[in-house]
Amino acid sequence: MGIPDITEESLRSFPKVLLHDHLDGGLRPETIIEIAHHTNYLSLPSNEAKELEAWMLSTADQGKLELYLEAFTHTIAVMQSEETLFRVAEECVHDLNDDGIIYAEVRFAPELFREKGLTLDEVIAAVLQGFESGMRDREIIVKGILCAMRSSDRSTEIAEAAISFMDKGVVGFDIAGPEIDFPPRIHRQAFEIAHRNNLPITIHAGEAAGPEYIEEALTICHASRIGHGTSAREKILDNGQAITSYGIATELVERGIALEVCPTSNIHTGIADSLHSHPVNTFLDAGLTVTINTDNRLMSSTSLTNELFQCCNAFDWTWEEITSVTLNAVENAFLNQGERDKLAKRLNSWKRANGLLTEGSK
């Protein structure tokens, strides 16, 4: 069999790994409408699926993170019971599986889903049970990352809850929400709790804020991955002939810290004007550990297949770049080495079957 052309179809069949995806940013429009009807939620901008999907995208695509986050009002509103959380989580797994994803870490902020009296534990358990149900009879693995809202004061409580669910499907801890004025150090105590209990940490940093937020995340908050991290571009010089990193960008390279890059989302929030001006390719050229992610599949009308396909079109990526960023995701997944090795074997099996790996390779 010859090496396949890079198309959306071939990329969908390619075994992908997703590290940065928000549960409340990936609902099916039909599900939102149905739950809203059953729960008497009357504030949806449309009760027609295609119109609602278009509204979500137009609201998100206004060039500011604060406006982007407004669309979540409606998804959060329909995720306020154990039944709806279970359903949304289960459908999330099905949708990721249909996109050819073999492993995903899906994050959510449990404090957002307590408006009708659910406890943190009830929220977390419902989501994890939904993941478990969604994985049944499918070859995808989905784990959870708990987020504390950076504008809230509940981060230590969320970190402790995450620790209590480590043996039930939670693999990491994060902070999310508006970044400006809420640097990582505000939640240092929560990160210390997670770190002491060997719970891996990823931190949204350098998305809307500058590289100093990335530095804080790494130097005092124990982050082993960075969500977005686009402002690291400020510490990379490219004169057209050579690329030189300095400051925090050099530390990212030297420590092999993975960046959870979300290109389409970054365009919608105004971080980049277009994919061509997005720093993802500069990061690769500078030697940073890049992974490609969706962030919010509904709001950005995207999938991991689409993210990779758009990068191929914008930067002339080949299967070499595609497999490289995917292997980066495998190697930086919050799993033990044996589990990561199994994912790598699935990736290599596909490569071998499609002429991208010789028989003598592992």
Place of tokens 């449309």: 46
CA separation, residue 89 to residues 23, 41, 85, 241 (Å): 7, 20, 6, 47
Q: Which member of 111, 179, 207, 321 is catalytic? A: 207
Q: Running DSSP on this structure, what letter comes out for residue 321?
A: H
The structure tokens listed for 174 are: 């994060």
Is 207 considered catalytic here?
A: yes
Report the alpha-carbon distance of residue 262 to residue 20 in Å, rounded: 8
**Three-class SS of residue 107?**
strand
Whole-angstrom Cα distance, residue 248 to residue 279?
Answer: 15
Tell me how far CA of residue 337 lies from CA of 76, 127, 144, 217, 263, in angstroms: 35, 25, 18, 24, 28
Burial class (CB in 10 A: 0-12, 13-18, 19+), 239: exposed
CB atoms within 10 A of CB 125: 19
Helix (H, G, I), strand (E, B) or coil at 17: strand
Cβ burial of 40 (10 Å; 0-12, 13-18, 19+) is exposed
- Contact assessment for residue 71 and residue 299, using Cβ atoms and an 8 Å cutoff: yes
The DSSP 8-state label assigned to residue 93 in this structure reads: H
Sheet holding 202-205, edge to edge: 202-205, 225-228, 258-261, 289-292
Task: Characterize the bridge pairing of strands 141-149 and 170-176.
Answer: parallel
| Residues involved in catalysis | 207
